[in-house]
Amino acid sequence: MPVQDAHTTILGLFRVAGDGYVSGAQISRALGVSRTAVWKKIEGLRLLGYGIEAVPSKGYRLQDTPDVLLPAEVASDLGTKHIGREVVYFAETDSTNLRAHELGKAGAAEGTVVLANSQTAGKGRLGRQWCSPAGVNLYASVLVRPPVAPRYASQLTFLSAAAVARTVAGTGKLPVTVKWPNDVLIGGRKVAGLLNELDAETERIHYLVLGIGVNLNMTADQFPNDLRYPATSVLLASGHRVSRLDFTRCLLRNLDSLYGLYLARGFGPVLEAWQEYFDLTGRTVEVDYQDRRVTGVVAGLDGDGALLLKLADGTRERVLAGDVRPLE
Ligand code: BTN
C-alpha cells in the first residue's frame, strides 16, 4: 500500500477514535501489515509533524495535528458533491497547474484537487512567476469538466474568484474585494491570484484547471522585492495566522456550492456572488487591453462578465479581458 494511503487509513482510525487510543493490532489489521511495519508508519506521521502518543497495552493516540494539507485531512467529511472527492498532495512540485494538466489528460475525475506545500516554478498570469514558499500559503489547482463551450471558460474565473473572496472574507472582518476579473484583494492589496487554463477542442471543453494561489501566513520578508503590484497575506492584513487546512476545506466547499449553482442555473448566480465583492461600479478606471489604454466610468458588468465602461465622449465600451486600475 502506498505510504500516503497508509497514512490516510491511520488518520481515519484516529478520527473515529476521537480522544481515545487505537491499538497496534487494529492498525495492523486495517493496513494488512506487521506490528513493526505499523510502528514505522507511525514514525512517518511523526516526521510530518503529527504528535502521536504510544502507550504499551493501549496503543496509539493522536495528540497534535500539524498544518499540513494531507489528502486524508483535506477530504475527510468534506460533504461536497463535485469538488475535492480526489485530493492529490505534493510536498514540493514545480506547479500544481502542471500536475493537474497531467491528471486531466490521463482522465482524472471532475473535482480532482492538486495541492502543494511549495512550488519551485509557480506560474502566474502573463508568464510571470508566482512566489510559492513552503508551509505558509495555499497552492491549489482544481480540475473541472463543465459541459459548456470553450467561449464560456472565463465564467469559471469569476467562479473561483468569488469562492476565494468568500473564503478570505470568512477568516475575519477584512475589506475583501475582487479586481476584475480575477484577483482578490484585501484593502487594495493582492492576497490571491488565479490562473485558469483550458484544454479544449472548438466546441467542447476537455477540462479546465482552476489555479488558485492564496497568501495566507506569508510574512513581509517572504515577498519578492520586485513585485509589480502591492501585495499582502491574510496574516499581514489581520494579524492572525490561519489554518491552511481549515482554509482549504472551506474554499473547496465554497467552490463546490458555486459550481453546483453554475451547473444547475448557469452564470447568473456566480456573477451575483462575485459582484458582492466588486467595488468599482461608478468609479473611473483606466483599462489596458488590446494594445490600447482607455479611461471610463465602470457602468457594470455584462451577462458574460465583460466590463462595461462609459467613456468621456458618451460611448460605451465592452472589455472582455484587460488590466484595470481605479483612478480615484
Ligand atoms: C496571478 O498571476 O495572479 C495568478 C497566480 C496563480 C498562482 C497559482 S498557485 C497554484 C497554481 N499553480 C500555479 O503554478 N499557479 C497557480
Ligand 1 neighbourhood includes 101 CB (under 6 angstroms): no
What's the CA gap between 97 and 116, in Å, rounded?
10
Instruction: Please report the atom of ligand 1 found closest to the CA of residue 192.
Output: 3
**DSSP line for 62-90:** EEE--S---HHHHHTT---SSSSSSEEEE
- Which residues are paired to 214 by β-bridges? 138, 192
Q: How far apart are the first and last CA of the chain?
A: 59
Ligand 1 neighbourhood includes 161 CB (under 6 angstroms): no
Ligand 1 neighbourhood includes 59 CB (under 6 angstroms): no
| Residue of 97, 226, 233 best suited for mutating to test ligand 1, as the one with most atoms within 8 Å of CB | 97
| Residue of 93, 99, 130 best suited for mutating to test ligand 1, as the one with most atoms within 8 Å of CB | 130
pTM over 0.85: yes
What's the CA gap between 129 and 125, in Å, rounded?
8
Ligand 1 neighbourhood includes 133 CB (under 6 angstroms): no
Rounded distance from Cα 138 to ligand 1 centre (Å): 10
Q: Is-contact 284 328, C-beta < 8 A?
A: yes
Specify the DSSP class assigned to residue 276: T
Give the type of residue at 259: Y
Pick the residue whose CA is nearest to atom 8 on ligand 1. 213
Angle at 171 between CA 167 and CA 173, to 5 degrees: 110
For 187-234, how does the pLDDT look when each residue is reduced to its tens digit (9 = 90+)?
999 999 999 999 999 899 999 999 999 999 999 999 988 887 899 999
What's the CA gap between 222 and 116, in Å, rounded?
17
- pLDDT at residue 28 in the model: 96
Range of weakest confidence among 115-124, 187-196, 272-281, 317-326: 317-326
Instruction: Please report the atom of ligand 1 found closest to the CA of residue 190.
Output: 3
Instruction: Indicate if the pLDDT at residue 256 is higher than 90.
Output: yes
